[in-house]
Structure 1
Amino acid sequence: MAVTKKRSIILWLLWIAIVPLGLYLVYQHYPPPEIDLWNITAFTVLAILTALMPLNINGTPMYLVQCVTIAVFLKYGLFAEIILSQLTVLILLFRSRSDEPRHIRLPFNSLMFFVVSAIAGIAYMEFGGEIGSTVIAHILIFGLIYEIISILSNHLFLYMDDMFMGVNKSFFSLDTVWDFAITLLVFPYAITLYITEAYIGATALFLLGIPFLMIAGLLRMYSSSEKVNIDLKKAGEIGHQLAARLSTDEVLDQFVIQVTKMFRLDYTYVIDYRDGELLMLRMFENDEFIKNQVPPVRYNKGIAGNVIVSGTPVIYDKKSEWDDIVTGYVPVDAESIMCTPIARNNKIEGVLLVASRKKFAFAAHQLKILDILSTYFAVSLEKAGYVQRAIATSERCGLTQLYNYRYLDEKLEKSMQKVKSGEIASLSLIMMDIDHFKSINDTYGHQSGNDILVKLANMIREEVGSEGTVARYGGEEFVVMFENYGKEFSMLFAENLRKRIEQHEFLIQSDLDSERSMEKVHITLSIGVSTAPDDSDEPNALIRNADRALYIGAKQAGRNKVAAYAK
């Protein structure tokens, strides 16, 4: 903020010191010839219309107003060209989109246009150029000198400003090349406009100006449609990438990254709409995900809330347009914002909010593209959810929600490969079986037995936590697999689990009792432990070893015991 204020003060002081006095001196030393009011008015109108219709090349607006100002300079001299250029400064100030404040852009552009015009115009006349000449060779040679000096002066001014701001840029950049290229295109038209007007008067401005403006308009339309087509193609590619993701987290992350990349965003947020609240799901700032520490807000509050209520996407070009609306989290340096609902099956389920630190960062068609992307996202998210549920169904026991034998078999194979490759030092398998479980089913009913299985599964899952893998092996048998757990540590875990189960009271409803009373039941576990590579280095052998330890070492030894496999 301090740098911006300092820059503004310096620019305005320079403008006051140079532009008014410079205009006076130019008028005194290079006074304009007699000016036809109708003629100069026609030139001015053509210059204004040209300034309002820039071409967009590689995302950069190119203003072709030079074709008019050159003609005015050749006919009326330096003072008239400076006045017309200063008028176009005001047009460009309100027409162009920039994140730099207008109180800086106005003195900067006005000063730059004045200095460039003065240097190029004085050089033209000092080299021998004449105002009002109709000699073709004279006009072409000295006019081209005028244009080259104008371009070089313009880029020297910008280069010095970059140096003052501490920006390290090359003098001959891509912008310089484009300026020279545009000059080669504009200069012949400017000369033609000047010569034709010199012979037939202001009518030439309409004969040449109207086709020129029509062509410029068509080129703008073509450029805009090309940009839309490019963005639509990118959106389609993103849609295909999202469809290929098989988990909801992958879809979320890929969507955020690709949208940020496509629109060159500084901030991207995916917000969930649930139970009357807006909850932040993903926060992506300055090309990285950050931890969500934003509390939920009411669904109808702020920018996202307005989109939820209206169901309509919105776009804001600058902070002053949304600053009094926001109630939730938006970075303080954000300026441009786009926000669109995320709908699935005609129901809004979330909001996508993106932002840029630049003013006027987004075009209107980009909001529509963002809306299309949100639809792709919602469909892909739904598909990934179906896939995850299908995978969970195929990998999980329907009763206990533990992993099933199929998953355990695959996981055991992969873990054993880690042992063989040296990625992990050991692998332990703990197999357990409920003692006398058949008598529980016979006494209380099979549903009561299922209740015990579910509660036992929850207790085992709680004991293991994230350290290992828990699976239902079949019937009343359960398996726990630990990577990097040796036999001693696994035996200790098994013993602690056995004691906890032995002491626990399982509260169940007796289905075979006429009164269906609640009963307290105690159960015990017989447990076998086998470890790789000590006992075996093959998955199936490790299971058989644990099973053997369970039945021979624990069951046959009296049950309610922990036994290790012994060769």
Structure 2
Amino acid sequence: MISKHSNRLIWIAWIVLMPIIIYYANMASPLRQIDRSNFLIIIALFLIVANMPIKINDATFSFIFGISILVFLSYGLVAELLISQLAYSILYIRLSITKNTLYRMPLNSLMFALCSIGSALLYYLVGGKIEPTGTKEILNSLFPILIYTLASFWINQIVIYFITIYLYKREMKLINREFKWDLFIYLLMYPIGISLYLMLETKGYITIIYITIYYIILMIILNSLSSALNMNKYLRQTMKISQKLSQRMEEEQVIDEFFEQLTTLIPVSYGNLFIVEDKSLKLIRYFQNKCDEKIFSCPYFDTLEGSISQKVFFEKRRYSFNRRSQWYTNDHLKFLEAESLLSIPIIKNQEVVGVLTIASEQKNAFEKYQVVLIEILALYLAIAVENARFYLQTKIRSETDALTGLYNFEYLESKIKEEFERLKTFKIKTISLLLIDLDYFKRVNDRYGHQAGNEVLFEVASRIKMVVKKSGLVARFGGEEFSVLLVNHSDRETYDLAEEIRKSLETIPFYITNHLTNEDQKIKLTVTASIGAAVAPFVAIEPSDLIRCADRAMYSKAKNAGRNKVAMYSK
């Protein structure tokens, strides 16, 4: 995209300069007498060539230049200039110029006008003639025609380079893959253009008709070959993308990676991913591909009644549109600038598990084989998301205590080690550890049953979490012991938090069920805890030392002092 100011300047430049260019071109090389039948056939050939471009490696190429040589040699600069302008305009309409990219029409018109003028001037400078006749004149014209061809090619490449650098503000190598393909096609058009001219001069327009038929057949074959090559390339890319998706372990990373990689396959401007939950569609990602950034978000809106995504969900079939007028309604405000739209159901085990809807600002953006590959990728995405969710569930189970939902000892231990690494690099100042042991907990199990004990443990975990909130990490240390890990807390702050936890347990009664009687009986209990605390680096320099110090404070001081106490470890 370019600025509105640049857009306006391009149109003004085209309106002002094109009449001047055509006028002076006619002054330098006046329009010659034209054989109407031959000329109409050539125009028809021009239009056919313009409507049958070849796409190779995401770059589009046309054989228009071969016909340009024919027209230039037959009728001069003005005829070639006007007809090539018409042909290239049709080509760019064929390539789906949108409202936002309409400025490319005048921009390319000026570029090809420069190519026509510049190459014609060089042709005349090296002694080239219009309508060369006889073997000698034609042989003498071979070198000027080669200069004409190379001049047109280089002017085209240099203008593209400067437009990319200064107008689009993008880096570009002058000699790249497209450069080589363009050079190959221009050099190929050199003998073809001369051959067309010779046939027209010697055999007349009937030969051009035959050539047109052969050309159409050739283009069909070449386009089929190009599609097969592109299909093979996209299949390899699809496999690479599926591998990248399988390497992501988090759901959001999987989805973002999918949209990121999808933009390397097809021109995606917008994207929605819906997942089926409770028999309805839930939007889990909205994607927007701007020229300067990619936006990933999770907006809170659902599919609207009658939207394409909802139709795909209910009908279990894809919808594909090549232009905006075929699909746009007020239900699609998120795709304001889009033209082409593709919405496909993600089907697994005969069930729709999601809907992927993508849109492009280009018309006719999605080829048939690309749609098939996107369906395959969407299935890979569904599998990758399912794997990521399973991994998350497994990870949570491995890190948490099944009864209380708190982190387990293994996770706590690894977290303490991580914090000590941060402490050693001065990223944090202190690490505090609280060990909380419930007083006389065995009596609860003996009198009311282990299920009643579990109820107490669950309630204790809830109360500790309510006190700590987000200031620390709460874990089940084992049995009836709990722990709290804090960072950047002073001795006083650590003690105050421990005291608050102790009071929250002591002052509010616990209500449990007596499971050792025939009838479930509600019991009111008072539960207390002894808490030991230690703060590194004041009393410990290693993770195991910190745990040992907190343990000693709990048993040696809090328990021995009569229980229901908070004790700080000190050297």
TM-score (norm 1): 0.84
Q: Is the 8 A contact 1:431 1:547 kept in 2?
A: yes
1:247-269 per-position Cα deviation (integer Å, ceiling 9, x unaligned): 32332333333334544645444
Equivalent in the alignment of 2:506: 502
Equivalent in the alignment of 1:270: 273
C-alpha separation between the residues in 1 aligned to 2:162 and 2:498? 76
Equivalent in the alignment of 1:489: 493
Partner letter of residue 517 of structure 1?
Q
Q: Is the 8 A contact 1:156 1:171 kept in 2?
A: no
Helix, strand or coil at the partner of 1:228 = helix
Q: 1:212-361 maps to which residues of 2 (within 5 A)?
A: 212-263=215-266, 265-275=268-278, 276-281=280-285, 283=287, 286=290, 287-289=293-295, 292=298, 294-298=299-303, 300-324=305-329, 326-327=331-332, 329-330=334-335, 332-361=336-365
Change (3 A) 1:338 1:463: farther
Partner letter of residue 52 of structure 2?
M
**How many correspondences in the alignment?**
561
Q: Does 1:410 align with 2:414?
A: yes
Range 202-211 or range 160-169, more displaced: 160-169
Change (3 A) 1:14 1:457: same
Change (3 A) 1:349 1:466: farther
Helix, strand or coil at the partner of 2:331 = coil
Equivalent in the alignment of 2:146: 144
Q: Once the 2 structures are TM-superposed, how far is the Cα of residue 59 of structure 1 from its aligned partner?
A: 2.4
Q: Once the 2 structures are TM-superposed, how far is the Cα of residue 561 of structure 1 from its aligned partner?
A: 1.0
Q: Is the 8 A contact 2:75 2:130 kept in 1?
A: no
C-alpha separation between the residues in 1 aligned to 2:175 and 2:99? 21
Q: Does 1:375 align with 2:379?
A: yes
Q: Once the 2 structures are TM-superposed, how far is the Cα of residue 453 of structure 1 from its aligned partner?
A: 1.0
Helix, strand or coil at the partner of 1:297 = coil
Q: Does 1:194 align with 2:197?
A: yes
C-alpha separation between the residues in 2 aligned to 1:537 and 1:170? 55
Equivalent in the alignment of 1:365: 369
Equivalent in the alignment of 1:557: 561
Change (3 A) 1:190 1:483: same
Q: Once the 2 structures are TM-superposed, how far is the Cα of residue 302 of structure 1 from its aligned partner?
A: 2.8
1:162-188 per-position Cα deviation (integer Å, ceiling 9, x unaligned): 999797999977677765543221011
Range 451-460 or range 100-109, more displaced: 100-109
Helix, strand or coil at the partner of 2:398 = helix
Q: Is the 8 A contact 2:72 2:130 kept in 1?
A: no
Range 398-407 or range 78-87, more displaced: 78-87
C-alpha separation between the residues in 2 aligned to 1:160 and 1:483? 56
C-alpha separation between the residues in 2 aligned to 1:564 and 1:153? 82
Name which of 475, 482, 493 aligns with 1:478: 482
Q: Is the 8 A contact 1:337 1:354 kept in 2?
A: yes
C-alpha separation between the residues in 1 aligned to 2:202 and 2:64? 22
Unaligned segments of structure 2, at least 5 residues:
none
Partner letter of residue 477 of structure 2?
Y
Q: 1:432-451 maps to which residues of 2 (within 5 A)?
A: 432-451=436-455
Helix, strand or coil at the partner of 1:559 = coil
Equivalent in the alignment of 1:50: 49
Q: Once the 2 structures are TM-superposed, how far is the Cα of residue 459 of structure 1 from its aligned partner?
A: 1.6
C-alpha separation between the residues in 1 aligned to 2:248 and 2:424? 31
Partner letter of residue 143 of structure 2?
I
Partner letter of residue 143 of structure 1?
I
C-alpha separation between the residues in 2 aligned to 1:105 and 1:444? 82
| % same residue | 31
Change (3 A) 1:102 1:501: closer
Q: Is the 8 A contact 1:437 1:476 kept in 2?
A: yes
Equivalent in the alignment of 2:93: 94
Q: Is the 8 A contact 1:15 1:107 kept in 2?
A: no
Change (3 A) 1:95 1:436: same
Range 487-496 or range 409-418, more displaced: 409-418
Partner letter of residue 493 of structure 2?
F
Name which of 510, 532, 535 aligns with 1:531: 535
Q: Once the 2 structures are TM-superposed, how far is the Cα of residue 121 of structure 1 from its aligned partner?
A: 5.8
Range 47-56 or range 420-429, more displaced: 420-429
Change (3 A) 1:351 1:198: same
C-alpha separation between the residues in 2 aligned to 1:425 and 1:88? 72
Range 230-239 or range 294-303, more displaced: 294-303
Helix, strand or coil at the partner of 1:312 = coil
Q: Is the 8 A contact 1:116 1:153 kept in 2?
A: yes
Helix, strand or coil at the partner of 1:32 = coil
Equivalent in the alignment of 1:31: 32
Q: Once the 2 structures are TM-superposed, how far is the Cα of residue 310 of structure 1 from its aligned partner?
A: 3.2
C-alpha separation between the residues in 1 aligned to 2:113 and 2:249? 60
TM-score (norm 2): 0.83
1:363-407 per-position Cα deviation (integer Å, ceiling 9, x unaligned): 443333222222111111211222222222222221112122232
C-alpha separation between the residues in 2 aligned to 1:24 and 1:478? 93
Q: Once the 2 structures are TM-superposed, how far is the Cα of residue 289 of structure 1 from its aligned partner?
A: 4.7
Q: Is the 8 A contact 1:428 1:485 kept in 2?
A: yes
Q: Is the 8 A contact 2:56 2:230 kept in 1?
A: no
C-alpha separation between the residues in 2 aligned to 1:380 and 1:166? 36
Q: Does 1:545 align with 2:544?
A: no
Equivalent in the alignment of 1:465: 469
Change (3 A) 1:226 1:421: same
1:514-556 per-position Cα deviation (integer Å, ceiling 9, x unaligned): 4423333221111111233333334334333322222231222
Change (3 A) 1:335 1:239: same
Equivalent in the alignment of 1:384: 388
Q: Once the 2 structures are TM-superposed, how far is the Cα of residue 562 of structure 1 from its aligned partner?
A: 0.9
